[in-house]
Amino acid sequence: MSAATGFFESVLRESFNVAVASAQPSHELPGLWAEKIQPWLDSMAPERQRVWVIGAGKAAASMVQAVEACAGQHEHLTGMVITRRGHGGTTQHVEVLEAAHPVPDEEGQRASRRLLQLLRTIEATDPVIALVSGGGSSLLSVPVKDIPFVDLQQLNRALLTCGAPIDEMNTVRKHVTQTLGGQLAQACRAPVFQLMISDVPGDDPAVVASGPFCADDTTYQDALNVIRRWNVQAPHSVLRHLEKGCKGLVPETPKSSSLVFRKIRSHIMASNGKMLDAVEHYLRQQGYTVLSFGDTVEGESSHVAKVHAALVKQAMQGRGGWPAAPLAILSGGECAVTLSDTQMKQAKGGRNSEFLLSLVHELRAQPEVFPLAALAADTDGIDGVGGHAGALLLPGDLTRIQQLQLSARLHLEQHTSHDFFHTLGRLLVTGPTQTNVNDLRLILIGQP
């Protein structure tokens, strides 16, 4: 490896490390606990006997650990959280259960029913700290009574491959479960301080994990419109339930006007936007001019890559008014990959590695006027199927790809980005990071 290649790989990997570190619950919670949570506890429940800790999401275990560290011996903590299998951790007082994600399993359903029942039994005098992070939509999957669990699983598979943005997918999820869209708030009599780690563009609390403690101003009709707009192959039981809801035959999710939300206080601890700010600060320290497109980027991964590739070409040529090299192009948000049933069976990769694969395809004939490197990865450490967080592209790789006779187009058509970057030796493998603030996409042009 040349010194130049080593420099770019170091900057890319450290950028990912900075992103993950900025989103760790232990990063912000100590100050937040002293300034807001402890005063809230003393105000809402001055004679409390215990503090309940409940929640769900990929970051749930690390959030519990941070809460336990802040509470110390001063609070009697108890409760349970649900996290993705493999994302657990050692805790002292709060039980951590693991379940499947992104398609829920029976173990997850049992855990979710336990959590729902627990919330219903908590006394109004005992405060609740709710820990909510990305992945909670799947991990809190308790279907309504007229939808079998297997149909809810089928619906989740269909939503994950239809290409719809996360807020629209969650609109449907809220209306087919007993737990999402403010329904946990409705089930709980106690005051709740909700701590959130956002993995959604725009950081709308009602979208994070489908907002189990947040007002839901979407409707059954909105959910049915999503099904139709994205041609989601939903089971008949789901369609029947949504149609009953449109006719007013089943209750709506609780709305902003509901009094249940007067007892809820929410705070976003970490988000995609805050993560991008941290990475941008690091890159500027390395000598890069940073062009950031923020945390609201959505769309098909391959289409988003085409836009990024166009910017790279303009910057390489010094055209379009873009800043000159050394330049870092930074973006977050959440892309999607639309798959047919057949493609779903053979696909291996994820939205980030597919973005980078599409970028490779678009830049295949681009002369490297300046050294070019890139990274696309999911901050939770898992990018779809394959056990990787994402992938890297380093200077000279476009030439190596030709020498190895790798076809980016073929792998794009088959949605096998994992195999492409495995052959190239550029998979980014980190394991679970214990947090989740969505995607990091970074392109480096030139060396400072």
User: Using CA atoms, how far apart are residues 95 and 198, in angstroms rounded to an integer?
Assistant: 23
Across the beta sheet with 77-84, the strand order is: 95-99, 77-84, 51-56, 128-133, 192-197, 264-270
* Residues 6+ away with beta carbon under 8 Å from 31: none
**How many angstroms separate the CA atoms of 401 and 404, rounded?**
5
Please give the sequence-ordered ranges of beta strands (E in DSSP) within 100-212, or none if there are none: 128-133, 192-197
Do 253 and 241 touch, CB atoms closer than 8 A? no
| Segment of 103-112, 310-319, 342-351 carrying the highest mean pLDDT | 103-112
- pLDDT tens-place string over residues 423-435: 999 999 999 999 9
pLDDT at 1: 61
Average pLDDT over residues 261-284: 97
Give the pLDDT of residue 320: 76
C-beta separation of 30 from 70 below 8 A: yes
Mean pLDDT value of segment 364-378: 93
Same fold, 3-19+273-445 and 24-142+177-218+253-270: no
* pLDDT at residue number 317: 86
Q: Where are the domains of the chain?
A: 3-19+273-445, 24-142+177-218+253-270
Give the Cα separation of 416 and 357 in Å (integer). 9
Taking 80 as the threshold, does the pLDDT of residue 4 lie above it? no
Give the DSSP letter string of 272-287.
Answer: HHHHHHHHHHHHHHTT
Give pLDDT, residue 346. Answer: 85
CA distance 176 to 182: 13
Whether 125 has a pLDDT exceeding 80, the answer reads yes
pLDDT, mean of residues 110-129: 97
- Picking from 100, 134, 299, 305, the residue whose alpha carbon sits closest to that of residue 212 is 134
* Main-chain phi, psi angles of 441, to 5 degrees: -120, 130
The pLDDT of residue 167 is 96
Q: What is the pTM of this model?
A: 0.94
Collapsing DSSP states into helix, strand and coil, what is residue 133? strand
CATH fold of 3-19+273-445 reads glycerate kinase, domain 1 (3.40.1480)
Helix, strand, or coil (residue 309): helix
C-alpha–C-alpha distance, residues 155 and 50, integer Å: 38
What pLDDT was estimated at residue 226? Answer: 98
Check residue 120 and give its pLDDT: 97
Q: Specify the pLDDT at position 366.
A: 87
- Is residue 323 predicted with pLDDT exceeding 90? no
Instruction: Compute the CA torsion angle 227, 172, 388, 377 (nearest 10 deg).
Output: 90
pLDDT reported for residue 104: 97
pLDDT: is 319 or 313 the higher one?
Answer: 313
Given a cut of 90, whether residue 3 has pLDDT beyond it is no
393 vs 342, higher pLDDT: 393
In CATH terms, is domain 24-142+177-218+253-270 a member of 3.90.1150.10? no
